[in-house]
Amino acid sequence: MSGPTYTRLTRERVPRQFTFSAVSAARSSLWLGDDHLLLVDRNGYTETYKRFYFRDIQAFIIRATKTRMTWNWILGIPAGLCLMFVIFLAFDVRGFDAGAITIICIVAAICGIPLFFNNLFGTTCACQIRTAVQTEELPSLCRLRQTRKVLDKIRPLVATAQGQLSPEEASSKMMEAALAEAAKPPVVWK
């Protein structure tokens, strides 16, 4: 019996808690199934699957993060310093040191290329998916532009399973829920 077919939504990403561990084998990716989203967490030689059925998805929560800015600083400072050194060496009155300039250019490229791609991919974000019983982080959705593209693919499928909510409708329902919650008597622990 053949199982469900999946379409890739995102490439594999290192979850945020492992970002700085270079040897981490943890990877996460998101796949689109017939009636659900599949979150695949690969850790070395095992894969763990989490399914989010379209009829159960309550919300996507996207939060803009400062990861891009952090990486810009981490990569930008050495790249800038290298550039300054190159200019300094190029106009050095004692002579033109081609070897030193080559080495510094290599270091600048090592920092500069990731810096370029970091800015090319756009704003970083963290995305969560919420169902009635869980709120899960989707580590592979870490760039705002890509997250919106994925949401554009998912939205009609969820709307087919559940129906659609306009911003006004959603806001009024949330206000109702807030009022209902405020009207509840406070819980007193004895």
Partner 1 sequence: MSPLIPCPKCQTRLTDGNVNLPGLSPCPVCGTELQIEVFPALFRKVAPVQSAQPVMVEGESSCFFHPQKKAVVPCAGCGRFLCALCDCDFAGEHFCPACLEAGKSKGKIKNLDNQRTRYDSIALALALVPILIFYFTLITAPMTLFVVIRYWNSPRGLVQRSRIRFVLAGILALLQIAGWTALFIAIYTRHH
Contact set with partner 1 (CB under 8 A): 1, 3-4, 6, 8, 29, 31, 35-36, 38, 40, 42, 45-51, 53, 55-64, 126, 128, 130-133, 144, 151, 155, 158-159, 162-167, 170-171, 173-175, 177-178, 181
Q: Which amino acid is at 57?
A: I
CB of 118 to partner 1, least distance (A): 18
Q: Where are the alpha helices (DSSP H) in the chain?
A: 67-90, 98-120, 144-162, 167-183
Q: Which is nearer to partner 1, 23 or 93 (by Cβ)? A: 23
Rg (C-alpha) for the chain, rounded Å, is 24
Q: How far is the CA of 80 from the CAs of 20, 43, 83, 104, 117, in angstroms?
A: 22, 37, 5, 11, 16
CB of 14 to partner 1, least distance (A): 17
Q: Which amino acid is at 181?
A: E
What b-and-e string marks burial along 53-67, b requiring 16 or more CB atoms within 10 Å of the CB? ebebbeebeeeeeeb
Q: Which is nearer to partner 1, 60 or 85 (by Cβ)? A: 60
CB of 88 to partner 1, least distance (A): 40
CB of 163 to partner 1, least distance (A): 5
Q: Which is nearer to partner 1, 92 or 176 (by Cβ)? A: 176
Q: Which is nearer to partner 1, 45 or 91 (by Cβ)? A: 45
